[in-house]
Structure 1
């Protein structure tokens, strides 16, 4: 029981270093910095979509990326594995509805093996 909390705390602390700002995105979600990328988090029901763009807001193809969204639902961390979908979108399904603006972090591993995290308050 303590391990999931420590994992979430570690992920959120790591994401804090990568976090510079959070703004509204093209797909109706929130955008945060994640290393050299911007990630837009869009949650609807159990579905999590993450859109990846570069520093110039140009879409970055999701092919080759892996990711995990660690979101707080009902006061507990929920891990949602993310897989590439179409275009610059990674997607995953949570076990329960997330609400429209869940708090947490998105962790990405790029095709080159580099990792980045974005935090959502």
Structure 2
């Protein structure tokens, strides 16, 4: 009886801690942790831009990275493939407008094959 309550409490604390890491970014988006990276999600119209930085907020070149943004649009998940662009930016186009602050996740694969993901609430 106590174990389910402890598990529920731990889950709620983890969810609260995860959303507490989301902050405002340099490019007008929201920043969250994705493994050892910080990712900033900027959605404008159908365009999704994800900016990569390290723990010290220094830009990480996007060359060699690939990713997917899985965002909720109209209550349904929308997958947007992301490809490297200039500097520390990955970009992609959705089929429909996403709105300014979509919820969802960004999944990344680095040049070394390692993966990371960040969640946006």
TM-score, structure 2 normalization: 0.84
The residue number in structure 2 matching 1:9 is: none
* Ranges in structure 1 where 5+ consecutive residues have no aligned partner: 1-17
Give, in whole Å, the separation in 1 of the partners of 2:19 and 2:93. Answer: 24
The residue number in structure 1 matching 2:13 is: none
The residue number in structure 2 matching 1:116 is: 116
**Post-superposition offset of 1:19:** 6.7
* Ranges in structure 2 where 5+ consecutive residues have no aligned partner: 1-17
Give, in whole Å, the separation in 2 of the partners of 1:76 and 1:90. Answer: 23
1:35–1:28 distance in 2 versus 1, CA, 3 Å? same
Give, in whole Å, the separation in 1 of the partners of 2:117 and 2:20. Answer: 11
Which consecutive segments of 4 or more residues in structure 1 shift more than 2 A?
none
Contact preservation (8 Å) 1:59, 1:88: yes
The residue number in structure 1 matching 2:29 is: 29
The residue number in structure 1 matching 2:91 is: 91
The residue number in structure 1 matching 2:11 is: none
TM-score, structure 1 normalization: 0.84
The residue number in structure 2 matching 1:56 is: 56
RMSD, aligned CA? 1.7
The residue number in structure 2 matching 1:11 is: none
The reply on whether 1:43 has 2:43 as its aligned counterpart is yes
Number of aligned positions between the proteins: 106
Larger radius of gyration: 2
